[in-house]
Structure 1
Amino acid sequence: MEIRRRTLLRAGAFAAVPGLGHHQRRRKPTVFVAGDSTAATYATADHPRAGWGQALPVFLHDDVRVVNEALSGASSKSFYDLGRLDRILTAIKPGDTLLVSFGHNDEKITDPARGTDPWTTFQDHLRLYLDGARAARATPILVTPVERRRFTSAGTPYLSHGEYPAAMIALAAETGTPLIDLTRLSFELWSALGPETTKDYLLWLEAGESVNYPDGVQDNTHFQAHGAIEVARLVVATGREIPGRNRRALHRTDIPDTVLTWPPTRPAESIEGV
């Protein structure tokens, strides 16, 4: 696959050179996030909408940096085609971590720019992220797509991602890649909370409740702050390879939504050329 060769060549070009000075070797380890809108960082105009990548620092010590490149609307294919993986590979260093979470938009198979097949092109594109990170001597971690809020009229939860999580799990096993099964973890959380309480986690707001959503919103895919924090908790609690995990924060049940910050613009959408 030509794109795989291209990615490896780029990653090799950006690999760290031996003999770096003491100060450079002491740089903060960085967690990069490659993903879609469920992980993205949102702006003040989007508040209280938030992504789980935006909430990752809540559960990490201050000596770990998070670079959230997750992009709204991205699939494993479009993220690569837009050059977003290349951006990460120019910056990633030995000892860093790359969280890779796609699936929501890969499922849009009628869209040639984004759609992938779970057992062929989805896995092929995910390999580019794994191979690129490893070529840079960083640690890739696959994260299955977070589950949507889906309940039948009787209040029974059901899965919505088809075979994409299973394809990612199989690829992780085949390549020896650490995996966070966020599909299962989030489904278990939504199931335990039930159809009404999950509205406090997903972006459900009444008319007039937020100036940013004056007519209200009923969004079963994206999170408000509380949901983003709790999904980030699932990611960090399960991702034992993630550096700087803050166990005290992971055990806190009283983390307020106000710990999150919203920048003036969506950072992943404010990059020149995107």
Structure 2
Amino acid sequence: MTYHLAGDSTVAPMKPAEEPMSGWGQALEGYVDAPVHNLAFGGATTDSFIASGSWDALIAEVEEGDTVVIQFGHNDQKEPELLASRGGYADRLRRFVSETRERGARAVLCTSVERRWFDGDVVTPTHGDYPNAVRDLAHELDVPLIDLTVFTTWLYEELGDTASARLLSHYAPGETSAWPEGLADDTHFRFEGAKKIAAFVARTLRAIERRDGDQPAKGSLLVS
């Protein structure tokens, strides 16, 4: 059993030149007892993931009993004519689910991780209708859903403005060679934040697998 990840920079593996900035997919292998095949990349939309050949490369490796975890939206929302939440975006997600099921594998849809934009003590929603479109599609197709929009919103608000910044790519001048003058990025995680999201994803996958009656030998999940 293998976990295959399709998504954008918030899922993607860490680039050595950008360390410690990382997508949560980089950390997932620390919480699951199965291989992780992560083809997510920065700037990806559901459309560019297909056009780049990444989806074909991913699905070619999928075998019966595998799980494909899909999270897009950050960049799709920047192309509303081509990738409207209830149009091209949903259509491409529907294709991903269909082709995953054709392989005898499980598709899992994720809403986008939220941007850490505070208004007082409350995080401002930044993804418009895209999370709701994913929730509705999951219901329509009877696909498991991991609601990372809700989880990350709760996480940031629970920690508060100051403490939650430590999960994201906020670097002081000289802290990392990638950004010697410092950085304040409220979209992309540092590795500590990526681990928090990955742990939640792993626990939710475990719940999905228990609900569906999967046997631990097919890919048990570690609790940490």
Decide: shared fold, TM above 0.5: yes
Once residues 156 and 85 of structure 1 are traced to their aligned partners in structure 2, the CA distance between those partners, rounded to angstroms, is: 36
1:168-187 to 2 correspondences below 5 Å = 168-187=134-153
User: Given the alignment, which residue of 153, 157, 166 partners 1:200?
Assistant: 166
Aligned counterparts of 1:197 and 1:238: Cα–Cα separation in 2: 24
Look up the SS of the partner of 2:78 in the other structure.
coil
Aligned pair 1:97/2:63, yes or no? Answer: no
Match of residue 30 from structure 2: 58
Report the alpha carbon displacement of residue 43 of structure 1 after superposing the two structures with TM: 2.3
Q: Equivalent residue of 1:223, what SS?
A: strand
Q: Residue 244 of structure 1 aligns to which amino acid in structure 2?
A: S
Report the alpha carbon displacement of residue 193 of structure 1 after superposing the two structures with TM: 0.9
User: Deviation string for 1:5-54 (max 9, x for gaps)?
Assistant: xxxxxxxxxxxxxxxxxxxxxxxx10000000000001221111111000
Q: If the length of structure 2 is used for normalisation, what is the TM-score?
A: 0.92
1:43 aligns to what? 15
Match of 2:221 among 242, 245, 250: 245
Alignment of 1:124-163 (within 5 A): 124-152=91-119, 154-163=120-129
Supply the RMSD in Å over aligned alpha carbons. Answer: 1.3
CA–CA distance in structure 2, aligned partners of residues 41 and 57 of structure 1: 11
1:71 aligns to 2:41 (yes or no): yes
Whichever residue aligns with residue 26 of structure 2, its letter is Q
Aligned-pair CA distance for 1:126: 0.2
Q: How does 1:2-13 map to 2 (within 5 A)?
A: none
Structure 2: gaps spanning 5 or more residues: 210-218
Which structure would you say has the larger Rg?
1
Gaps of 5+ in 1: 1-28, 250-274
| Matched position secondary structure for 1:133 | helix
Identity %: 36
Residue pair 2:121, 2:157 contacting (<8 A) in 1 also? no
Deviation per residue, 1:154-190 (Å, 9 max, x gap): 3432111110010000000000101101110111001
The runs of at least 4 consecutive aligned structure 1 residues that moved more than 3 Å come to none
2: CA distance, partners of 1:138 / 1:79: 19
Q: Which of 182, 198, 204 is matched with 1:216 structurally?
A: 182
In structure 1, distance between residues paired with 2:204 and 2:61: 25
